[in-house]
Amino acid sequence: SAVISQKPSRDICQRGTSLTIQCQVDSQVTMMFWYRQQPGQSLTLIATANQGSEATYESGFVIDKFPISRPNLTFSTLTVSNMSPEDSSIYLCSVDFPGRAVDTQYFGPGTRLTVL
């Protein structure tokens, strides 16, 4: 496994503003994923970030709202843009490792976002 950190751990933001969440891994990884976890709901995949290419977004999520960067093999950012109270959620990054035989992902501690 790897050590995965996220910043900030939590934030309270005003409607209409943007927040950038950072995800740092202590080893090189192929794929990084961004999820949203809303109360009482399943983890929902927002997008997949592969280093050196555009992020791939899941249905219902768009780049203008959730721009993602992946500048290297150990770091990624997710921006939540033009926030509304409906964006209040926990945002999680996860990683998988190259050469693994089994699909498993390892998660960061999450960023708890409250939008007022």
Partner 1 sequence: QKEVEQDPGPLSVPEGAIVSLNCTYSNSAFQYFMWYRQYSRKGPELLMYTYSSGNKEDGRFTAQVDKSSKYISLFIRDSQPSDSATYLCAMSAGSGYSTLTFGKGTMLLVSP
45 vs 73 by CB, closer to partner 1: 45
| Torsion on CA atoms 80, 37, 46, 108, rounded to nearest 10 | 90
- Distance in angstroms (rounded) separating the CA atoms of residues 84 and 94: 24
| Torsion on CA atoms 66, 23, 98, 33, rounded to nearest 10 | -30
41 vs 53 by CB, closer to partner 1: 41
67 vs 110 by CB, closer to partner 1: 110
Q: For residue 12, what are the contacts with CB-CB under 8 A and spacing of at least 6?
A: 114, 115, 116
Q: Work out which of 43, 57, 65, 69 binds partner 1, going by CB under 8 A.
A: 43
| Pairing outcome for strands 106-107 and 89-96 | antiparallel
Q: Is 103 in the site for partner 1 (CB under 8 A)?
A: yes
Place of tokens 């961004």: 34
7-36: contacts with partner 1 (CB under 8 A): 30-31
Q: Work out which of 8, 18, 100, 114 binds partner 1, going by CB under 8 A.
A: 100
Shortest distance (Å) from residue 42 CB to partner 1: 4
Q: Which residues bind partner 1 (CB under 8 A)?
A: 1, 4, 30-31, 40-43, 45, 48, 92, 94, 96, 100-110, 112
